[in-house]
Chain A
Amino acid sequence: MEHRNKIPGKNRIVIKVGTSTLSYPNGRLNFQRIEKLAKVISLLQNKGKQVILVSSGSIGVGAGRLGLKDRPDDLAEKQALAAIGQAELIKIYQKFFDAYDQNVAQVLLTKDGLINSLSRSNAHNTLNTLLNMSIVPIINENDTVSTEEIEFGDNDTLSAYVAILVEAELLVLLSDIEGLYSADPKKDNSARIIHKVTRITPEIEQMATGAGSSFGKGGMATKIAAAKLCDKAGIDTIITNGEEPSIIIDLLEGKEVGTLFVSAKNQQTFNPN
């Protein structure tokens, strides 16, 4: 539990929320859940923490706006919907955060923007400035100009890059399951949640295959990959269920919810076992 005791002290936090948390299975936004998320993040900001939100959802919102029943498969059409939906999505976030007097800012990133050193340092400066002004940056992939569908591929990876960019202390990946299980809990009764991972071994990665939602882009595998990226940068990662956003408060109190991936760099004073 000693690792969990360190969680409350973490100040700069990246929270990634996916389509499965933000939306109903049909892709339309779940407003009451977004409202709760805005409340929790505003509360953390009021406590003096710095939170960055990485949010998906723009394509589903765009489809809703145009009254489409299904998400399109065509890439160009998806990008068009993302352009329509992102404007709407940020407006809705703004509305819910406004109710808690919390300012937000929209930041859209592409992969080369995070690799190219000049634009990387620009993004770094912008995000730092926003955080120091107590503003919550809401980040998404800039879908409309991404030339390939798979640049970051999914916001799990994007959120890891963002956490590294801003030197965050914790990445929280909100999912539609409680965390990493020893086996697929839908198929295997003996499956149990693993609350702590101190080393991402091939066995751990093996557990991640199969689980995950069918609607969002990421599954457990991309979340483990994100945790791995953060591990190298000395950032801890927690995967947990976002259905009830107040779980973020619980985990920041050090409660044993979800799966905590402790970065090797944060274990030097401990015996890992």
Chain B
Amino acid sequence: MKTVNGNSLKVVVKIEIKSLSDPDGNLDEEKLERLVMILSNLHNSGMQILVVSSGAIALGSKRMGLKSLPEDHIQMQAMAAIGQAELIKIYQHYFEEYNQVVAQILLTNQAMTNAERQANARNTFSKLLDKNIIPVINENDTVSTEDIELNDNYPLVLNVARLVDAHIILIKSVSDGRYMIVPAGTTTPGIIVNEEELPEKLAEVAGERSLYEFESRVFPEKFELLNFQ
């Protein structure tokens, strides 16, 4: 139903676990569950959903009782390893509540630049999406030598969107229940909508394919996103 050129509408969702946590780093599970319900609903409507979520280091540090995030590189990687397990467990738990199956994908920068790895990753994604599975993606911090969990995971979101040729980048507001819908194939600025209008507006954007020229893949860099909190 929600299709572009006969393909399901492909949506990459940017989530920051920080935005779902209180200042002490405790995850607000009610907020997370709400978000998962909304995404499950979009998935049920026939869209393909890919989640890019940060949060491994924060969850790992919390679990190990650290008072603040580590600054040392090796320490960060260790916390990411601990926290990633936690992160995927939480997503799995809540998505399962809404009858969805998730898969964990950890990517490095390398996978994005090396053509062969890129092709592998692309194949994996398309297999998962074909099987109606929601990939939950994060940076593979434990083996990355650089760029450890940037403050903002938008570069990773952008890479994933390019890799899978997504139609939409959906960004959950850090501060409230709103979302920004960014047509991924264009330089068109995103539109900000609330939870209630999300399904309808996404379908609308998909319907206005010609308006947004999805064929010419120009992915918006950060510009207008910085102001969206």
- Which A residues fall within an 8 A CB radius of B? 23-26, 28-32, 35, 61, 64-65, 67, 69, 88, 91-92, 95
A28 to B99, alpha carbons, bound, how many Å? 10
With a cutoff of 8 Å between Cβ atoms, the chain B residues found around residue A24 in the complex are 1, 44-46
B99–A88 contact, CB under 8 A?
yes
Interface residues of B in 80-107 (CB under 8 A from A): 97-99, 101
- Beyond A25-B1, A32-B199, 4 additional contacts (C-beta under 8 Å) are A23-B44, A28-B46, A30-B45, A64-B99
A31–B46 contact, CB under 8 A?
no
Most buried by B among A26, A28, A67, A92: A28
B131–A67 contact, CB under 8 A?
yes
With a cutoff of 8 Å between Cβ atoms, the chain A residues found around residue B99 in the complex are 29, 61, 64-65, 88, 92
With an 8 A cutoff between CB atoms, is B133 at the interface? yes
Contact of A29 among B1, B44, B97 (CB under 8 A): B44
A95 to B37, alpha carbons, bound, how many Å? 11
Q: Using CB atoms, name the residue of chain A closest to B198.
A: A32
A31–B40 contact, CB under 8 A?
yes
**Could you write out 10 A-B pairs with CB less than 8 Å apart?**
A24-B45, A25-B1, A26-B44, A29-B99, A31-B41, A32-B38, A32-B196, A64-B99, A69-B132, A88-B99
A67–B41 contact, CB under 8 A?
no
A67–B133 contact, CB under 8 A?
yes
With a cutoff of 8 Å between Cβ atoms, the chain B residues found around residue A29 in the complex are 41, 44, 99
A-B pairs, 5 with minimum CB distance: A28-B44, A31-B41, A67-B132, A24-B45, A64-B99
A121 to B56, alpha carbons, bound, how many Å? 56
B41–A30 contact, CB under 8 A?
yes
B101–A26 contact, CB under 8 A?
no
With a cutoff of 8 Å between Cβ atoms, the chain B residues found around residue A61 in the complex are 99
With a cutoff of 8 Å between Cβ atoms, the chain A residues found around residue B101 in the complex are 67
Contact of B45 among A28, A35, A69, A95 (CB under 8 A): A28
A92–B46 contact, CB under 8 A?
no
Most buried by A among B99, B132, B133: B99
A91 to B94, alpha carbons, bound, how many Å? 13
Interface residues of B in 22-41 (CB under 8 A from A): 37-38, 40-41
Most buried by B among A25, A29, A32: A32
Most buried by A among B43, B132, B133: B132
Interface residues of B in 1-54 (CB under 8 A from A): 1, 37-38, 40-41, 43-46
A91 to B98, alpha carbons, bound, how many Å? 9
Once A26-B46, A67-B131, A67-B132 are accepted as A-B contacts, the answer to whether A31 and B1 lie under 8 Å apart by CB is no
Contact of A26 among B1, B97, B131, B133 (CB under 8 A): B1
A88 to B101, alpha carbons, bound, how many Å? 14
With a cutoff of 8 Å between Cβ atoms, the chain A residues found around residue B46 in the complex are 24-26, 28
B44–A30 contact, CB under 8 A?
yes
With a cutoff of 8 Å between Cβ atoms, the chain A residues found around residue B132 in the complex are 64, 67, 69
A65 to B96, alpha carbons, bound, how many Å? 9
With a cutoff of 8 Å between Cβ atoms, the chain A residues found around residue B131 in the complex are 67
With a cutoff of 8 Å between Cβ atoms, the chain A residues found around residue B41 in the complex are 29-32
B133–A31 contact, CB under 8 A?
no
A26 to B45, alpha carbons, bound, how many Å? 7
Most buried by A among B1, B41, B43, B97: B41
With a cutoff of 8 Å between Cβ atoms, the chain B residues found around residue A64 in the complex are 44, 99, 132
A88 to B96, alpha carbons, bound, how many Å? 10
A64 to B96, alpha carbons, bound, how many Å? 11
A31–B44 contact, CB under 8 A?
yes
With a cutoff of 8 Å between Cβ atoms, the chain A residues found around residue B44 in the complex are 23-24, 26, 28-31, 64
Q: Using CB atoms, name the residue of chain B closest to A69.
A: B132
Q: Using CB atoms, name the residue of chain B closest to A68.
A: B132
With a cutoff of 8 Å between Cβ atoms, the chain A residues found around residue B43 in the complex are 28
Q: Using CB atoms, name the residue of chain A closest to B97.
A: A95
With a cutoff of 8 Å between Cβ atoms, the chain A residues found around residue B199 in the complex are 32
B187: min CB distance to chain A, Å: 31
A25 to B41, alpha carbons, bound, how many Å? 13
With a cutoff of 8 Å between Cβ atoms, the chain A residues found around residue B133 in the complex are 67
A26 to B38, alpha carbons, bound, how many Å? 17
With a cutoff of 8 Å between Cβ atoms, the chain B residues found around residue A23 in the complex are 44
